[in-house]
């Protein structure tokens, strides 16, 4: 076993703190003589290592004077060096900031990070400006960001605090220059005037450049700004011109920023101003809805235009947003078209989402360039079932750069697979034991009887609907490969299920297993996979579909023929091998008599499926009625000589 006596070692080294025994250097700090040990200091800090062992004069002297160093903070630093412990709670704020300064100066990174985390927890209106200054001075990114968020939430209180007057010019300029510093512009101007009077040696012009004069009214410009003589008459006239000539949507508004927090809630003061059954949209319930309750609606007008209709939401205050999550009613397979426009004052509207040409369903994850918003207008333009638009839930947020996807022409360019049940994709057409077998993410658990979706060659297709339009340039399929059969097929995409574009044509190729498809990036809502040939029977079988293509879970690389090369033996491969072993116990299809049918309708063998689900917007028909669709699903089945109605 291993002995661990770290506590014993720390106790004995800590006993040397400020003790003259074995001391080989004396540090003079603020007039006090503090005995220390060169080896202990140098082992903890590169600063002391260079000072005491770097060949400088201090490396030969018995006493080393540390000038401009606060005594109390330095003694606390020595305690941390010798014991590894430091109690920050209970210390004066000035002392904590001095410890932060010394830890930065002497290179104690762990201590610096620990003090920064402590200061994040004790931020307040009274001390945030001082801490913000130090965080920017020492380039402490996490602490500075915490200060920014606090200042943004308490902007008016900060402007009225005494500590605001002591901000450095650099930090003050950065503070009021952000869109998220949300306070009336006239109050910001007055606070800057007070700061300029308190700091006569600092030039106020760089600070005044951050004041957004076009947000002031003409009376405020004339009666508040002009008498101070801090802003020239030309700047005032330019601001008046911008006020009168610029669109309201283009003005540099400020707004509240609550990162990743849903501001479209009653607790944040949001309310629905227009629409029927208004209480449902913002109640936070995205599960308890049916055909009669749990949604907000509005009638769809011809052309879907005009602000007399639609659902209008007012947020509690102007907020900076770049993400909306809208749940469309999805208890059946209906789809909607819609657009969303936003405004600050209901006078000038900007359309941030336009899905009026696309068919959408269920959750809509919408992103756009960050902007200040107070009013949100949702207008439905189409419903595939009736003339009413139904919205179940709305969430509004600002997400960070890491969560912001790439956008192209207003549409999301996804990196992750969006053809999944969790992303609200839907199999519109096909035959399977389970509707979601194709998009459930399972690529290893399939055999002769289950785990795939299929359609009869020459009749029907496999169609997948994504929840919303995405810009994609790749897809990946897994064709059923429990034996050596090969398939031919093609793939088309559409945004409205009416006009289709072919993105992959493999009708002249024999393909099996994994298929990687790449094509020019384009908007996609519907994907139609059409099999044209099967070397074993007359049904096309697909196990898995993803869009866009993800890296092969097995680690292999798709070849030009669609097969995967260099695949290690994974659980999925082992499962397929087991299926092949079982298949060898069944008579080979090629050895069967030409007139024999393995699945006669009068007496189907026990291995056939009898519970496959058929889902199709266009019902499939079969030439021979005695050959049932349920019998047609199995990859093992062979058709009667005069029938094509098999899978």
Residue 551 pLDDT class (50, 70, 90 cuts) = confident
Q: Stretch 387-408: mean pLDDT, rounded?
A: 95
Whether omega before 441 lies within 30 degrees of 0, making that bond cis, reads no
Q: Is the pLDDT of residue 647 over 50?
A: no
Supply angle C-alpha 493, 357, 544, rounded to 5. 30
**CATH architecture entry for 266-404:** Sandwich (2.60)
Q: Stretch 26-30: mean pLDDT, rounded?
A: 88
Token pair belonging to 520: 């020019």
Average pLDDT of the chain to the nearest whole number: 85
Residue 554 pLDDT class (50, 70, 90 cuts) = very low
Distance of CA 456 to the CA centre of its chain: 40
- At residue 415, the 3 state secondary structure works out as coil
Please tell me the predicted confidence (pLDDT) of residue 24. 85
Please tell me the predicted confidence (pLDDT) of residue 601. 31
Please tell me the predicted confidence (pLDDT) of residue 560. 39
Q: How far is CA 296 from CA 51, 306, 307, 323, in A?
A: 71, 18, 16, 20
426-591: which CATH topology? Jelly Rolls (2.60.120)
Token pair belonging to 132: 């913000």
Please tell me the predicted confidence (pLDDT) of residue 197. 94
Q: What is the pLDDT of residues 175-208, one digit of tens each?
A: 999 999 999 999 999 999 999 999 999 999 999 9
Burial class (CB in 10 A: 0-12, 13-18, 19+), 517: buried
Residue 615 pLDDT class (50, 70, 90 cuts) = low
Q: Which of 105, 106, 86 is nearest to 96 (CA)?
A: 86
Q: How far is CA 453 from CA 490, 523, 579, in A?
A: 16, 25, 18
Helix axis angle for 93-106 and 109-121, nearest 10°, is 150
Q: How far apart are CA 621 and CA 645, in angstroms?
A: 8
Main-chain phi, psi angles of 425, to 5 degrees: -70, 165
Q: How far apart are CA 161 and CA 184, in angstroms?
A: 16
601-639 b/e (C-beta count within 10 Å ≥ 16 → b): eeebeeebbeebebebeeebebeeeebbbbbbbbbbbbb
Q: How far apart are CA 383 and CA 389, in angstroms?
A: 7
Q: Is the pLDDT of residue 364 over 70?
A: yes
Q: Answer whether 593's CB lies under 8 Å from 615's CB.
A: no
- At residue 245, the 3 state secondary structure works out as helix
**CATH architecture entry for 1-122:** 2-Layer Sandwich (3.30)
Q: Is the pLDDT of residue 218 over 60?
A: yes
CATH 3.30.710.10 residue ranges in the chain?
Answer: 1-122
Please tell me the predicted confidence (pLDDT) of residue 580. 53
Q: Answer whether 150's CB lies under 8 Å from 180's CB.
A: no
Q: Stretch 66-94: mean pLDDT, rounded?
A: 91
Q: Stretch 495-510: mean pLDDT, rounded?
A: 96
Please tell me the predicted confidence (pLDDT) of residue 318. 96
Q: What is the pLDDT of residues 463-477, one digit of tens each?
A: 999 999 999 999 999
Token pair belonging to 235: 């700047």
Q: Taking the alpha carbons of 149, 155, 159, 160 in that order, is the dihedral positive or negative?
A: negative
SS (H, E, C) 313-360: EEEEEEEEEEEEEEEECCCCCCCEEEEEEEECCCCCCEEEEEEEEEEE
Please tell me the predicted confidence (pLDDT) of residue 392. 97
Q: Is the pLDDT of residue 432 over 80?
A: yes
CATH 2.60.120.260 residue ranges in the chain?
Answer: 266-404, 426-591
Q: Answer whether 235's CB lies under 8 Å from 213's CB.
A: yes
Residue 630 pLDDT class (50, 70, 90 cuts) = very low
602 vs 296, residue with greater confidence: 296
SS (H, E, C) 504-549: EEEEEEEECCEEEEEEEEEEEEEEEEEEEEECCCCEEEEEEEECCC
Token pair belonging to 11: 């106790």
Q: Answer whether 112's CB lies under 8 Å from 104's CB.
A: yes
Token pair belonging to 259: 């990162």
Q: How far apart are CA 228 and CA 190, in angstroms?
A: 10
Q: Is the pLDDT of residue 607 over 60?
A: no
Q: Is the pLDDT of residue 116 over 50?
A: yes
Q: Is the pLDDT of residue 58 over 90?
A: no
DSSP track, 151-202: HHHTHHHHHTSGGGGG--HHHHHHHHTSTT--S-HHHHHHHHHHHHHH-TTS
Please tell me the predicted confidence (pLDDT) of residue 244. 81
Q: How far apart are CA 642 and CA 342, in angstroms?
A: 62
Q: Which of 415, 396, 394 is nearest to 260 (CA)?
A: 396
Q: How far apart are CA 281 and CA 616, in angstroms?
A: 32
Distance of CA 244 to the CA centre of its chain: 38
Give, for 82, the enclosing helix (H) or strand (E).
helix 71-83
All residues at 6 or more sequence positions from 113 whose CB lies less than 8 Å from its CB, including other chains: none
Q: How far apart are CA 463 and CA 448, in angstroms?
A: 22
């Amino acid at each position: 076993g291993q002995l661990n006596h770290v506590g014993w070692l720390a106790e004995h080294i800590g006993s040397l703190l400020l003790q003259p025994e074995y001391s080989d250097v004396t540090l003079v700090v603020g007039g006090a003589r503090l005995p220390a040990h060169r080896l202990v200091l140098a082992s903890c800090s590169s600063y002391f290592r260079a000072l005491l062992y770097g060949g400088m004069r201090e490396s030969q002297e018995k006493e080393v004077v540390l000038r401009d160093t606060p005594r109390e903070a330095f003694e606390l630093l020595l305690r941390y060096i010798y014991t590894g412990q430091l109690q920050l709670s209970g210390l004066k704020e000035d002392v904590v900031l001095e410890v932060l300064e010394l830890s930065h100066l002497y290179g104690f990174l762990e201590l610096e990070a620990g003090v920064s985390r402590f200061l994040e927890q004790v931020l307040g209106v009274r001390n945030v400006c001082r801490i913000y200054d130090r965080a920017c001075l020492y380039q402490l990114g996490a602490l500075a960001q915490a200060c920014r968020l606090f200042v943004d939430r308490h902007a008016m209180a900060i402007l009225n605090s005494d500590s605001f007057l002591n901000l450095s010019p650099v930090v003050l300029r950065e503070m009021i220059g952000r869109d998220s510093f949300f306070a009336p512009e006239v109050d910001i101007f007055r606070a800057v005037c007070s700061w300029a009077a308190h700091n006569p040696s600092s030039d106020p012009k760089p600070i005044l450049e951050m004041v957004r004069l076009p947000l002031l009214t003409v009376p405020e410009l004339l009666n508040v700004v002009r008498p101070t003589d801090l802003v020239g008459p030309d700047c005032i006239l330019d601001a008046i011109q911008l006020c009168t000539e610029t669109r309201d949507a283009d003005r540099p508004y400020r707004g509240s920023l609550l990162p990743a927090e849903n501001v479209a809630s009653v607790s944040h003061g949001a309310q629905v101003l227009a629409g029927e059954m208004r209480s449902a949209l913002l109640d936070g319930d995205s599960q308890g809805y049916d055909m009669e309750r749990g949604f907000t609606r509005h009638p769809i007008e011809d052309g879907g235009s005009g602000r007399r209709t639609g659902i209008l939401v007012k947020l509690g205050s102007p907020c900076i947003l770049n993400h909306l999550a809208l749940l469309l009613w999805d208890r059946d397979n209906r789809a909607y078209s819609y657009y969303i426009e936003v405004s600050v004052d209901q006078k000038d509207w900007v359309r941030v989402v336009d899905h009026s040409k696309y068919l959408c369903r269920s959750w809509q994850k919408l992103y756009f360039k960050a902007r200040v918003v107070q009013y949100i207008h949702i207008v439905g333009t189409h419903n595939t079932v009736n003339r009413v638009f139904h919205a179940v839930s709305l969430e509004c947020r600002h997400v960070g750069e890491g969560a912001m996807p790439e956008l192209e022409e207003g549409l999301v360019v996804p990196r992750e697979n969006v053809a999944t049940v969790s992303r609200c994709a839907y199999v519109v057409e096909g035959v399977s034991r389970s509707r979601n077998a194709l998009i459930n993410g399972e690529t290893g658990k399939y055999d002769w009887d289950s785990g795939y979706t299929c359609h009869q060659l020459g009749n029907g297709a496999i169609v997948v609907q994504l929840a919303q339009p995405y810009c994609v340039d790749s897809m990946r399929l897994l064709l059923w490969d429990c034996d050596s059969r090969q398939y031919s097929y093609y793939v088309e995409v559409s945004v409205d299920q009416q006009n289709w574009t072919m993105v992959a044509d493999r009708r002249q190729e024999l393909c099996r297993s994994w298929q990687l498809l790449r094509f020019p990036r384009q908007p996609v809502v519907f994907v139609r996979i059409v099999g044209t040939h099967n070397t074993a029977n007359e049904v096309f079988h697909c196990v898995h579909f993803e869009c866009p293509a993800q890296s092969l879970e097995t680690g292999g690389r798709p070849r030009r023929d669609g097969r995967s090369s260099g695949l290690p033996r994974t659980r999925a491969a082992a499962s397929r091998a087991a299926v092949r072993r079982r298949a060898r116990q069944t008579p080979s299809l090629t050895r069967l008599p030409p007139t024999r049918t393995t699945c006669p309708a009068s007496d189907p063998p026990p291995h056939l499926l009898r519970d496959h689900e058929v889902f199709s917007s266009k019902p499939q028909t079969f030439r021979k009625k005695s050959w049932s669709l349920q019998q047609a699903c199995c990859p093992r089945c062979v058709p009667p000589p005069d029938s094509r109605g098999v899978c």
